Copies of this chain bind each other. A is one copy, B any other.
C-alpha cells in the first residue's frame, strides 16, 4: 500500500515537486508537468508525453535527451487535463511542431485530443499518437482499442530520437506509428495497490492466484490461474507474445527484438531476473535475437505486484532508434556528451511559466443580475460537491464492476476543485458565466480522466449559455444543458444506449427543454427532468456497453448501472435541492 503522503489530495503535486527538485540536472517544472532543463533546439519537433501519476518512471522520469521533450503529469491514475498538456507542449515547443504521445486510455485520448486542438488554435502544428501495446486488452482485430502499458517506452523513444535527428513532424509521427505497430506487451498480476489515503486496495487478486492480462489501473484481465513458477510465468509471457507477430513478420526465427521485462512495483529485481533468465532462453530457442534488454521498473502502479513482457520487433531503422543513447532521470543509455547548460534557451522558444499555477486574471465585468445568479451557481456546485462526497465510495464500487474503480475518486477531486474555483471567482465579483467557466477548468484539471473532461465540458457549455450579463432564465439554462448534451456526445463519442452518462444526459436535457418550453419555472422544470434522469440512470443496469471504453469484460456490468450515469442522476437531484433553497 501507499503509506507516505501528506494530504492525499496533494499527493501528485507534491510528488512532482520532489521529483523536479531531485532532478534539476534533467528537468524543470512548468505548469502541468516538466520539460527538459535545456530548451528544445529551434527547428526540432518536440515529443511531449504524459499520463497519470503513480506510474513512475512513466511519465516524468522519461524526459531528457534521447527521450521526451516534456511530460504532462496528471493526478493519481488520471489523465492530465487539456490545459496541463497545452501548457507543457507550449513550453516544450521548439518551433517545429509537437507530437503528443500517451497510452491509449479514454481519458488521455480525450484530453490530449483537446490539447491538440488548442495548440493548433495557437498556430502550433500538432499530431497525436496513442500507444496501444497491451494485447490482452482487445483482440488483434480491434488493436486500436488496446491499452498502452510498458510498450510506451520503445515507442516514445523511437519518435524522440527521430525528432532529435531533425525529421519533420509528419515523419516523426510515421516513426511512432511504425514502432507502435511492431510493439506488443502482455502482463500478469498478483496483487493490486492502495492509493494514497485510501483504506482498501483499488483492486485485488485472490491469494496465490494470478490475473492474466490485468491492467495497470486494475482493469479486468482475461483470466485467472494459479500462481506460476518463474519459468511458467516466462513461458506464458513469451508464448503469448510469439502467437501474435506483427503483420510483416512471418516467423520469430531470425528476428531481432527489443525486450522489456517490466516490474509493476513490488515484484522485485531478483524475481525479474529469475523470470528473465527463462525469457531469454525461450526467445533464444525461438531464434529471436534480443537487443539491449531492459529488466526493471519502467511503468509501475505504486506497489502493485505484477510483471509484463514487451517485445518490439526491430528492423534496421527501429534498432538504430532503440540503441540510441538517452539521458533522463530514470532511463539512461549509452554515452552522451556533457548536457547542455540548463539556461541555454534557444531563440524562438516559448519561455515556460514556473510550476505554480498561473494566477487567474481578474474576472471580466458582470451585471449585478449575473453576479446574483452566480450565488445560485455556487450553491448548486456546493450541493454537487457534497452529494459526490457522500456517494464517492459507492461510485467507486459501481465503477469497479467493469472499469478501473476510480470514478468516485475522480468525481470527488473534480467537484471539490470546481467548488473552490467557483468560490474564488464569485469572491472576485464574477458573473454566473465566468464562475461556471472557471469551475469547468478546475474540474477538468483536477479530476482528470474521461469524466473530468466531460464534466468540464458540461460546466463550460452551461457557462457559455448563461454568460455574465443577463439574469439566466429557465430557457437559457435549458439551452445550456442541451448544448452540454451535444458537446459530451461529440467529445466522448458515445450515443444513447452505449451505457454511459449520455444515457442520462440526453433524456435529462430533452425533459428540461420540454418542461421549460411548457413555461414551467426553472425549479419545477428541473425537478421533472431530474426524475427522468433518475429513471434513465437505473435503466442503464439493463444495458450492455457497446463500445468506446476499451475495457475487456465490460459486459460484467450487466445488472449494474453505469457509474457516470448514476453520478449524473445524483447530481441533477442535488442541484434541484440547491435551486429550491435558493429561490
List residues of A whose CB falls within 8 A of some B CB: 2-6, 11-12, 14-19, 21-22, 25, 53-54, 56-57, 61, 190, 196, 227-231, 233, 261, 265-278, 280, 292-296, 300, 302-303, 305, 307, 327, 330, 332, 335-339
- Measured between C-beta atoms, what is the minimum distance from A55 to chain B in Å? 9
Q: Assess the A18–B275 pair: CB atoms within 8 A.
A: yes
- Measured between C-beta atoms, what is the minimum distance from A255 to chain B in Å? 18
- Measured between C-beta atoms, what is the minimum distance from A399 to chain B in Å? 22
Q: Assess the B274–A11 pair: CB atoms within 8 A.
A: yes
Q: Which residues of B contact A57 (CB under 8 A)?
A: 269
Known: A268-B303, A270-B15, A273-B16. A229 touches B5 (CB 8 A): yes
- Give 11 A-B pairs besides A4-B228, A18-B295, A327-B335 with Cβ atoms closer than 8 angstroms: A4-B274, A6-B230, A6-B231, A17-B273, A18-B272, A18-B274, A21-B293, A22-B261, A22-B294, A61-B269, A265-B268
Q: Assess the B332–A6 pair: CB atoms within 8 A.
A: no
CB within 8 A of A276: which of B18, B25, B269, B278? B18
Most chain B CB inside 10 Å of its own CB: which residue of A21, A294, A295, A303: A21
Q: Assess the A268–B229 pair: CB atoms within 8 A.
A: no
| Number of chain copies forming the complex | 2
How far apart are the CA atoms of A293 and B24 in the complex, in Å? 10
Most chain B CB inside 10 Å of its own CB: which residue of A3, A5, A19: A3
- Measured between C-beta atoms, what is the minimum distance from A310 to chain B in Å? 14
Known: A53-B270, A270-B15, A270-B56. A3 touches B277 (CB 8 A): no
In the A-B complex, list the 8 residue pairs whose CB atoms are closest, starting with the nearest.
A18-B277, A18-B273, A56-B269, A15-B270, A266-B303, A4-B271, A332-B332, A18-B276
Chain A contact surface mostly: mixed
Q: Which residues of B contact A265 (CB under 8 A)?
A: 266, 268
Known: A268-B303, A280-B21. A274 touches B5 (CB 8 A): yes
- Measured between C-beta atoms, what is the minimum distance from A63 to chain B in Å? 14
- Measured between C-beta atoms, what is the minimum distance from A24 to chain B in Å? 9
Q: Assess the B230–A5 pair: CB atoms within 8 A.
A: yes
Residue in B closest to A293 when the chains form the complex, CB atoms: B22
How far apart are the CA atoms of A233 and B4 in the complex, in Å? 8
Residue in B closest to A281 when the chains form the complex, CB atoms: B21
Known: A4-B267, A5-B229, A265-B266. A15 touches B302 (CB 8 A): no
Known: A275-B4, A280-B22, A332-B332. A266 touches B266 (CB 8 A): yes
Residue in B closest to A276 when the chains form the complex, CB atoms: B18
Known: A14-B277, A280-B18. A2 touches B268 (CB 8 A): yes
CB within 8 A of A190: which of B3, B15, B231, B274? B3
Q: Assess the A268–B231 pair: CB atoms within 8 A.
A: no
Q: Which residues of B contact A268 (CB under 8 A)?
A: 2, 56, 265, 300, 302-303
Q: Which residues of B contact A227 (CB under 8 A)?
A: 3
Known: A15-B270, A300-B269. A276 touches B21 (CB 8 A): yes
Q: Assess the B11–A270 pair: CB atoms within 8 A.
A: yes
Residue in B closest to A279 when the chains form the complex, CB atoms: B18
Residue in B closest to A232 when the chains form the complex, CB atoms: B6
Q: Assess the B11–A267 pair: CB atoms within 8 A.
A: no
How far apart are the CA atoms of A519 and B239 in the complex, in Å? 69
Most chain B CB inside 10 Å of its own CB: which residue of A4, A15, A227, A303: A4
